[in-house]
Structure 1
Amino acid sequence: MNTNIPSQLQPFIQMVDFIGMAMGNNCEVVLHDVSKIEHSIVAIKNNHISNRKVGGSLTDLALKILKDKSYEEKDFLINYSGKTQDGKILRSSTFFIKDEYGNVIGMLCLNMDVSKIVETRNLLDSLISGISTKNQNSTYLDENLPTNEDGPMEDLSTSIEELTSSIILRTIAETNIPPYRMSANEKMDVVKQLNEKGVFLIKGAVSEVALHLKTSEATVYRYLNKI
């Protein structure tokens, strides 16, 4: 027994191996201890899919779930889309492991690599119709994957630093305004969005946000206080 892992999560370690072996090499199985955001992965099977390993961090979706506490209303998420850093398309599901008070303490995640299935379907579609409506070189065909009612899209980064930068850069890009042209209110809105995504649960996130927004850490803290 690994004493560094909470006792309530210990029984799920064997489940990781069992499910991974039963589902086959195209299914990555991951067990997260959510009390350790930066090093949450305590067990993983078939990690060749995302290239993550024990000691890796939570995902952007997991951060958002912790921040908005959506786990209080449901026990799991089924069939949402995700992608790895090297572009693999995933069909993912997450089971929330809770304590006796209903607080989430862990997450058991299944990530099925469906990239080849999507490519095959696109090929069949093009043969049937004679016209391909998809870019055959593209691996980002997330709209073709089943999603839950919230339609989340998960980014499986291999490190906490990459995850933090990815969320910040993506949020800034969605504004279509470069940081040096942003007003104070626009920067505060970016900070608000990042806060809702759980970015500030990550250690050192304030300095990273300040760097990307071309402002000071004190200003970011001031925006957070106003929010």
Structure 2
Amino acid sequence: MSPAQIEFYRRLAKGLALQFGPNCEIVIHDLESDDLDHSIVAIENGHVSGRHLGDGPSHVVLEALHDAPDKLEDRPPYLTKTSDGKLLKSSTIFIRNEAGWPCGILAINFDITLMTAFSGTLASLIGTGDHNEPEPIAKNIGDLLDDLFSECEQMIGKPAALMTKEERVRAIGYLDQRGAFLISKSSQKACDFFGISKYSFYSYLDEAKAASNDDQK
């Protein structure tokens, strides 16, 4: 994102936060940043998720960076959940450059924790039509990787230490699809998590990518 874009979206974030109050968090991510571990360039009401200016990407940001830019679409309201148990109604809007390519993300996270206590009368306000489990919002890169590692164990159905070679390949492929390896030093952390060497890691990753390409043919 250009400095002018960042300045505009900083002002927009502040205006939206003032309009909707302290329960509404507005986050701006720069998808063109050279340092993706610190993708947040503007944030208002960060107490909602516990994040700050300069913190890293969310699950949605990683997936956006991993997927083909021409296939990215704005996400209508969906449920997310913070590490301290707050339930949020979230939306993701892609900021695009003059060529139409995504260069940033405007994320809106509204704390509806108290509202859910009165869901019978407020269903039309807080409903998203999304019946999936809320997606976690990590406070930092370490938490985000831990969430992704936990997800791949749930996907396989067993701890990493008990996985077979084939299951590790599937798990590493899942992490790759989720954008985990866009995070700096994530490959070494994956080696430690799975208890494998760097050579085995890259061999498994290549195997997972080859299987994914075959599935798409």
**TM-score when scaled to structure 1?**
0.81
Match in the other structure for 2:70: 72
Match in the other structure for 2:94: 96
Match in the other structure for 2:176: 195
5+ residue gaps, structure 1: 125-143
Question: Is the 2:64–2:72 contact (alpha carbons within 8 Å) kept by the matching residues of 1?
Answer: no
Question: Is the 1:32–1:43 contact (alpha carbons within 8 Å) kept by the matching residues of 2?
Answer: yes
Which residue of 11, 30, 52 corresponds with 2:27? 30
Distance (Å, rounded) in 2 between the aligned partners of 1:147 and 1:202? 32
- The question of 1:186 aligning with 2:167 is answered yes
Q: Which amino acid aligns with 1:92?
A: S
Question: Is the 2:6–2:41 contact (alpha carbons within 8 Å) kept by the matching residues of 1?
Answer: no
Which residue of 8, 13, 16 corresponds with 1:16? 13
Question: Is the 1:95–1:108 contact (alpha carbons within 8 Å) kept by the matching residues of 2?
Answer: yes
Q: For the structure 1 residues 164 and 100, does the alpha-carbon distance in structure 2 shift closer, same or farther, using more than 3 Å as the test?
A: same
Match in the other structure for 2:214: none
1:152 Cα offset (Å): 8.4
Question: Is the 1:50–1:158 contact (alpha carbons within 8 Å) kept by the matching residues of 2?
Answer: yes
User: What RMSD, in angstroms, separates the aligned Cα atoms of the two structures?
Assistant: 2.3
1:74 Cα offset (Å): 5.3
1:73 Cα offset (Å): 3.9
1:101 Cα offset (Å): 2.4
Aligned runs of 1:105-184 on 2, under 5 Å?
Answer: 105-121=103-119, 145-147=127-129, 153-184=134-165
Question: Is the 1:5–1:42 contact (alpha carbons within 8 Å) kept by the matching residues of 2?
Answer: no
Q: Which amino acid aligns with 1:30?
A: V
Q: For the structure 1 residues 179 and 102, does the alpha-carbon distance in structure 2 shift closer, same or farther, using more than 3 Å as the test?
A: same
Question: Is the 1:61–1:153 contact (alpha carbons within 8 Å) kept by the matching residues of 2?
Answer: no
**TM-score when scaled to structure 2?**
0.84
Match in the other structure for 1:136: none
1:174 Cα offset (Å): 2.5
Question: Is the 1:172–1:190 contact (alpha carbons within 8 Å) kept by the matching residues of 2?
Answer: yes
Question: Is the 2:27–2:106 contact (alpha carbons within 8 Å) kept by the matching residues of 1?
Answer: yes
Distance (Å, rounded) in 2 between the aligned partners of 1:51 and 1:18? 20
Alignment deviations for residues 61-104 of structure 1 (CA, whole Å, 9 cap, x no partner): 221122123x5345521101111110100100111011122221
5+ residue gaps, structure 2: 210-217
Q: For the structure 1 residues 13 and 90, does the alpha-carbon distance in structure 2 shift closer, same or farther, using more than 3 Å as the test?
A: same
Q: Which amino acid aligns with 2:111?
A: D
Aligned pairs, number: 202
Which one has a larger percent helix, Structure 1 or Structure 2?
A: 2
Match in the other structure for 2:189: 208
Alignment deviations for residues 2-37 of structure 1 (CA, whole Å, 9 cap, x no partner): xx9643332111001000000111110111112332
Distance (Å, rounded) in 1 between the aligned partners of 2:146 and 2:200? 19
- The question of 1:50 aligning with 2:49 is answered yes
2:114 counterpart SS class = helix
Distance (Å, rounded) in 2 between the aligned partners of 1:175 and 1:10? 43
Question: Is the 1:83–1:90 contact (alpha carbons within 8 Å) kept by the matching residues of 2?
Answer: yes
1:213 Cα offset (Å): 1.2
1:121 Cα offset (Å): 2.4
